[in-house]
Amino acid sequence: MPGAGKILCLLLGLFVLTGAFSACRTDPRRALAQQAEYVGSAACQPCHEELYQAYLQTGKGRSLSRFDPRSAPESLPSPVIADPKTGFFYQAFLRGDTLYQREFRRDQRGRIYQERIYPVAYVIGSGRATRSYLMEQNGYLTQMPLTWYMQVRRWGLSPGFEEANDRFERKITLECMTCHNDLPRASPFAQNHYSRVPLGIGCERCHGPGGEHVRRRAQGWRPPAGEADPTIVNPARLDRARQLDICQQCHLEGVVTVFRPGEDPTTFRPGQRLAEHRAVFAHEGQLRDPEQFGLASHALRLAQSRCFQRSPMTCTTCHDPHRASADRNPGSFDRFCRSCHAGSGGHAPLCSRVGAAEQGCVSCHMRRSGTADVPHVTFTDHWIRRRVPPPRPGRGRAMITERHPLQLLPIEGVTGGVVPDRWEPGKPEEKLQAALAYWHFYEAFHGLPQYVEHVIRWAEEGLRAGAEHPEVRIALARAYTLQGQMPRARQILQQQIQRYPEHAWGWFWFGAVAEAEGRISEAIEAYRRALARAPYLTEARRKLADALLQAGREAEAEAVLLELIRLEPEHEPRAWYNLGLVRWRMGRSLEAREALQKAVELEPRLLEGWINLGSIWLEENALKQAERCFSIALELDPRSPSALGSMALVRLREGRFEEARRLLEAVLREEPGNQAARMLLGQLGPG
């Protein structure tokens, strides 16, 4: 039946903790290095050739790469991988020198009725544990569904996809990119749009921006004998806490990171204290479960070790950041252990008796086990203990299923420790950090209403006390919308756009509240203001099109939808669907049909897409094509009145009146007030 389905999309469940670039607070002795410009690792090569080449072989140096079939470890083509929860099937295969991933779906007869195939743009991961894959579309980066798990040498769904299959749409955010790669150039406020993507974590992530260093050295300048070079950061010359913070920018794993005002994932500079840059929060289960550890939990686990607590050790005590350690056996770390434990109680005879000498100290005192966040991977738990629990398989990204609220605790790193027990924020800025942490935790992991109450309480208290953060009013306003307090949400967002007029997300959410209250013209203006500040903010363009459609401004909506589709043609099934409806209303059936066909190719579970596509075929009296569309719709929802009624129209055109009668009677069972079905049954007469 024409017009079935809704054009309007639900308000997005989205919040991004990002800020603008700012100068770092710094020790004046490191000012030259921290405030210089980035020049890239290649600028280091002429003077540090041997280190440069060795570093390229490390996991960090290979953290992001292009696929190269000559060195690729994957077994290709992959077997077909099924996702039983969604009904999608996946396969990776090689075509020429390019790696592709394929998704398809079958109908009840086993026939393929949907297929998507995309090339791999980047490989993410060094290959020691996993190799995952990114697709690129006009600068937008998303993760692909299949991952190669190195240790078990097999393909599987990417981490987290078994719990929530994002297909080809999982966004690679700035925080994700910055920990898995060198510093990219990201478009302001857009979640996953990049104008520059480097390959591999570079030298400057640990040594700071090298522009001034390279310039002075090229001019022949050298520091006075015995003095440190102020134009570059040498981590070995930093105090212990600052050395560890360089590593902890990626190896301190919580569940939520809140960046301080003016900071974002790219603005940390070596030599700065991490606590000046961000607040990291973990939930109590992460900290109190002695067996649970994640792939990037090194700092948290090491902090619990007596070895760490009673010695000046740092990460580089055991790890040379310039050289690959993949070829080391566990025993190769023994010399580091013996530097503290030599001659202490007969360790060597004991190890000889149990046959562990070749395996080394690590084999007994650092457990190698499955991680809590990535499946099919075993990793070294960095909590050094006298006795370790037995290994267990990785659980993948375990969803939090408890129905009671979890306490979030701020982590200050291995030198700052963990705030114990029932922590509550005290300082005004801590209240804002806690409000943002609980909002993100609510939205991304554990949607219990108690967290919303925390957000409102702490955000209001912190703001009243004079603290500021450019994202906190957005979280506060959204929390109020969940409680139905729309006037208060609107008031908070008005304050947001007055105080931070260039913050695109403030305008976006002001538009969303205006749209929810029926103030469509105001919403349209707000979405346009958001896009003026962030042209690659897909969500604002999507919502602008929806608002224009509500206002009946179809020609304007079509132009916005076309631009959205131009930017992300393979990630916007709802935009294709809305474009199809707009063109159908304008009497352009052929163009409408093409748009709706693209919508269901991208999202074969789009019930209203199949119904409206079938309705266009029915208008053209193409009964076989219409029947196919309505059959798929009925597979998706056998009780859909629109699908049942639409199939009844096909049967009437075919003269199969008894089948049409049964379908119309089914419509009335589901929707007794359906007058169209009742009228058609009346025309058919008694059965």
Average of per-residue pLDDT across 336-340: 80
The predicted model scores a pTM of 0.88
Mean pLDDT of 281-296: 72
Q: What integer is the mean pLDDT of 5-14?
A: 29
Q: Which of 598, 591, 594, 656 is nearest to 623 (CA)?
A: 656
pLDDT tier at 416 (50, 70, 90 boundaries)?
A: low
pLDDT of residue 421: 62
Looking at residue 687, what is its pLDDT?
A: 63
Q: Which residues pair with 103 in a beta bridge?
A: 90, 116
What share of the chain has pLDDT > 70, as a percent? 87
Residue 367's pLDDT band (boundaries 50, 70, 90)? confident
On the question of pLDDT at 663 being above 70, the answer is yes
The predicted model gives 22-30 an average pLDDT of 40
Query: Which one of 272-276, 389-393, 445-449, 568-572 scores highest in mean pLDDT?
Result: 568-572
pLDDT for res 283? 83
pLDDT digits (tens, 9 = 90+) for 595-608: 999 999 999 999 99
Flag the least confident range among 27-31, 314-318, 546-550, 595-599.
27-31
Q: Which residue has the higher pLDDT, 368 or 236?
A: 236
- What pLDDT shows up at residue 288? 66
Tell me what pLDDT residue 306 has: 87
- DSSP 3-state assignment of 502? coil
pLDDT in the model for residue 3: 35
76-105: pLDDT as tens digits: 999 999 999 999 999 999 999 999 999 999
Q: What is the pLDDT of residue 341?
A: 78
The confidence score (pLDDT) of residue 546 equals 96
Six token digits for residue 399:
């969803």
Residues 288-302 as b or e (16 or more Cβ within 10 Å = b): eeeebbbbbbbbbbb
What whole-number distance in Å separates Cα of residue 679 and Cα of residue 251? 67
Average model confidence (pLDDT) across the chain: 87
Q: Give me the pLDDT at residue 1, please.
A: 34
Q: Which pLDDT value is given to residue 34? A: 62
Q: What is the pLDDT of residue 579?
A: 97
Residue 18 has pLDDT above 70, yes or no: no
Give me the pLDDT at residue 4, please: 34
93 beta partners: 100
CB 357 within 8 A of CB 351: yes
Confidence of residue 9 (pLDDT cuts 50, 70, 90): very low
Task: Write down the pLDDT at residue 353.
Answer: 42
Alpha-carbon separation of residue 266 from 29, 181, 191, 261 (angstroms): 22, 11, 14, 13
Locate all alpha helices (DSSP H) within 122-165, ordered by sequence. none
pLDDT at 33 (0 to 100): 57
Whether 286 has a pLDDT exceeding 90, the answer reads no
Instruction: State how far the alpha carbon of 430 is from the alpha carbons of 12, 249, 437, 466, 493, in Å.
Output: 27, 20, 10, 12, 21
The pLDDT of residue 365 is above 90? no
- pLDDT at 28 > cutoff 90: no
Q: Would you call 418 helix, strand, or coil by DSSP?
A: strand
What angle do helix axes 520-533 and 538-550 make, rounded to 10 degrees? 160
What's the residue count for the chain?
A: 687
CA–CA distance, 101 with 116 (Å, rounded to integer): 8
Give the confidence band of 359 by pLDDT, cuts at 50, 70, 90: low
What distance in Å separates the CA atoms of residue 124 and residue 103, rounded to the nearest whole number?
20
CA distances (Å), origin 553, targets 523, 535, 545, 546, 559: 14, 21, 9, 10, 10
Q: Pick the closest to residue 188 from 559, 516, 535 (CA basis).
A: 535
Question: Which pLDDT belongs to residue 516?
Answer: 96
Give me the mean pLDDT over the 107-127 stretch.
Answer: 92
Query: Averaged over 366-380, what is the pLDDT?
Result: 75
Q: Which of 34-43, 461-470, 482-491, 615-624 has the lowest mean pLDDT?
A: 34-43
Q: Which amino acid is at 60?
A: K
